[in-house]
Amino acid sequence: MIQSQEKPDRVLVRVRDLTIQKADEVVWVRARVHTSRAKGKQCFLVLRQQQFNVQALVAVGDHASKQMVKFAANINKESIVDVEGVVRKVNQKIGSCTQQDVELHVQKIYVISLAEPRLPLQLDDAVRPEAEGEEEGRATVNQDTRLDNRVIDLRTSTSQAVFRLQSGICHLFRETLINKGFVEIQTPKIISAASEGGANVFTVSYFKNNAYLAQSPQLYKQMCICADFEKVFCIGPVFRAEDSNTHRHLTEFVGLDIEMAFNYHYHEVMEEIADTMVQIFKGLQERFQTEIQTVNKQFPCEPFKFLEPTLRLEYCEALAMLREAGVEMGDEDDLSTPNEKLLGHLVKEKYDTDFYILDKYPLAVRPFYTMPDPRNPKQSNSYDMFMRGEEILSGAQRIHDPQLLTERALHHGIDLEKIKAYIDSFCFGAPPHAGGGIGLERVTMLFLGLHNVRQTSMFPRDPKRLTP
C-alpha cells in the first residue's frame, strides 16, 4: 500500500494521451490491470484508466527478469499499478484497446493497491451487448448484480461514458441558463407540507413534529419570482414516495428546475425552456461523441433527432392523432404511458423528431397551482415535453393571484393552513410567471436510447432498493 510521501520527479501520463505522438518516450502511467496473459517469456497486460485502455508488454530482457514477468502475470484484475515504460508504435492496430496504434513496453511495475482475487462480476461481461451474449452463449450481467456491486459496474467503459455525459447535461443546463440571465438558487428539501398537495410524500421526524421531503422545489422557485429574481433555476434532489416499479420511476432523482417571469404570454417561458433543451442536445452531440459512441457499442440506438424551433402540438391535436390510430380517449383524460409511447412514434413518423412539446393540457389532470386557460375553462396553460415518446418535463403558467390560488387549493382538497406561507407570497404583488421541472436521469436515458432509468442513476433509489 502506498503511503503519503514527497512528490516524486516523475509525472504520470493519462492513458488517453498515449498516442503515436509519444512514440519512443519513457512515461509513467497509473491504471488498473484489466487483463493479464502470460505467453512464454512475456506477459501482455491491458491497463485501463476510466474508459481508455492500452496494451502493455512485459518481456524478459534488459529491463525485466523472468520473475518480473511472472509477477506481472499474477497481479489480480482491477489492482491499481504504477508502470514505467516506453511508448512503442505497433505495426498492426490493437482492436481490443482504445489506444490502438501504440503499446507500452514495461520497464518497472509497482502495485499501488491490490484487488481481491475473486471479483463479483467481470467487466468484459458487463459491457457485452445482450444480443451478442444470447447469440454466442457468452455471459452478460443482469441489472441487480450490477446495482449490488455498483462500484465495480461504474468502472465499465459504458458506465463511465453514461455518467460523464450526464455531467455534461448538468454543465450545459447551467451554462445555457446563466448565459440567458438566470440566477441559480438552492431550495429546502425538508418542508412543512406536501409540495404538490398530494399523498406521495416521505414523512420524516422533525423534532416534535412531522416534516416532509420535497417532491419539488416548485413553491420556492415561485417565491423567488415574487422576490423579483425574475429568472431562476436549481439543480437538486427530488423525492417521490410512489410505489412504482417501472423502467422510468425512481423515489429519488435529480431535478433540473426552471422558473421565469414573463411579459405577455406563458409561451415566452415554454420557448425558453425548449431552447435550453435544444442547446443541451446540440452541446452533447458536439462535445460528447466519444461517450455516445461508447454507449452505442453496448446499447445500439438511432441518433437523437430534434427540430429548431421545437415542434409544439396542442393536447387536442395529440388526441386526434391517437384517435386516428384507434385509441379511445376522453377530452379530459390524461395520457397513459402506452399512449405516450404511441404518440411519440406517431410524431416521429409525421415530423421526424424525437423531441416535442404538448401544450394546453386538461385542467382536471394538473396540480392546483396551474393557471386555467382564460378562453377555455376545461383547459390549462400547461405543457409537457417529451423525448422518444416519454415525458421528461412537466410545466405550466402558475396562478399568481392569491384569491384564485385559494379557490383552486380548496377545489383540490388541500389544507389552506399548510400552504399559508405559499399563498401569502402572492399577496404583495406577484408577476405572471411559468416554469417546469426536468428529470436528469430520464433525459440521460432517453437521449442515449437506454431502456431503464436505473442505468442512468449512479446509486438508484426505488421502492425495492435503498443500498448501496
The set of catalytic residues is 240, 242, 248-249, 391, 394, 442
- Count of C-beta atoms within a 10 Å radius of residue 456: 27
Cα separation of 389 and 331, whole Å? Answer: 20
Question: Which amino acid, one-letter code, is at 424?
Answer: D
Q: What is the DSSP string of 84-121?
A: EEEEEE-SS--TTSSS-SEEEEEEEEEEEEPPPSS-SS
Angle at 96 between CA 91 and CA 99, to 5 degrees: 60
Q: Enter the C-alpha cell of residue 364.
A: 382536471
Q: Enter the C-alpha cell of residue 455.
A: 442505468
Distances (CA, A) of 20 to 8, 17, 29, 55: 26, 9, 16, 14
Determine the length of the chain.
468
Query: What's the N-to-C CA distance of the chain in angstroms?
Result: 26
Q: Are the C-beta atoms of residues 192 and 273 closer than 8 Å to each other?
A: no
Q: What is the DSSP string of 21-46?
A: GGTT-EEEEEEEEEEEEEETTEEEEE
Distances (CA, A) of 94 to 40, 81, 293: 20, 21, 18
Q: Are the C-beta atoms of residues 332 and 377 closer than 8 Å to each other?
A: no
* DSSP β-bridge partners for residue 111: 81
Burial of residue 153 (CB within 10 Å: 0-12, 13-18, 19+) is: buried
Cα separation of 55 and 69, whole Å? Answer: 15
Cα separation of 323 and 63, whole Å? Answer: 75
Q: Are the C-beta atoms of residues 250 and 462 closer than 8 Å to each other?
A: yes
For 458, list phi and psi in degrees, rounded to 5: -60, -45
